[in-house]
Structure 1
């Protein structure tokens, strides 16, 4: 992915009302998405069957991973172990993240939060 295509993906997310995430790479053992959440929005996430790494590109807010809560800003990374509930909330400035999903036996599956 080039810098220009990453910016194009962000523009597409801004115009797309069907979701806040856009897949930009899927190479079997790794999947990468760009996420965007507007200020004031909450971004609950169902637990996944893969480990995840979020890199905060822009914006600020808070993230909850399991029982831990942390403020996030550009340059922060957040690791989410597979199966853990997690969410972004108290988003003060539009939040843009790069999300990397690690390999699993079923890399695109989501578990259901009760």
Structure 2
């Protein structure tokens, strides 16, 4: 067992940073981290090669995919399959996300699109 301190907690960003990703745990089959985007910030992530789950722990935004968009806030749980384009938009309150990747983030070969 391991208690993961600070996972999903909003952390002020370093000066000049657009957003922040911190990995808290990594084992071969999954990784857990926190992704923070400040209010008014821009999410410029590319599709990932792993499935992921986001749990919104603080803030409000809209998640946008090619299939549509949805408002999210504290308690929202979002599943994004590997390879699906997605981003958080219209971040109206500092957004903190607990992120779980399966398998561990970056452990699969790059997508055919090069992203």
Q: Same fold (TM over 0.5)?
A: yes
Distance 2:58 2:38 in 1: 11
Number of aligned pairs?
109
Q: How far apart are the structure 2 equivalents of 1:109 and 1:67?
A: 25
Q: Which runs of 5+ in 2 are unaligned?
A: none
Structure 1 unaligned runs (5+)?
none
Matches within 5 A, 1:2-17: 2=3, 5-6=5-6, 10-11=10-11, 14-15=13-14, 17=17
- Computed over aligned residues only, the root mean square deviation of the Cα atoms, in angstroms, reads 2.6
TM-score by length of 2: 0.80
Cα gap change, 1:98/1:90 in structure 2, threshold over 3 Å: closer, same or farther? same
Q: Greater shift after overlay, 14-23 or 45-54?
A: 14-23
Q: Which structure carries more helix by proportion?
A: 1
Give yes or no for contact 1:47–1:110 (8 Å, CA) kept in 2: no
| In 1, Cα distance between equivalents of 2:94 and 2:109 | 27
Post-superposition Cα deviations, 1:18-69, rounded to whole Å, max 9, x if no partner, equal 8510000001100111011000012122111110100000000100123220
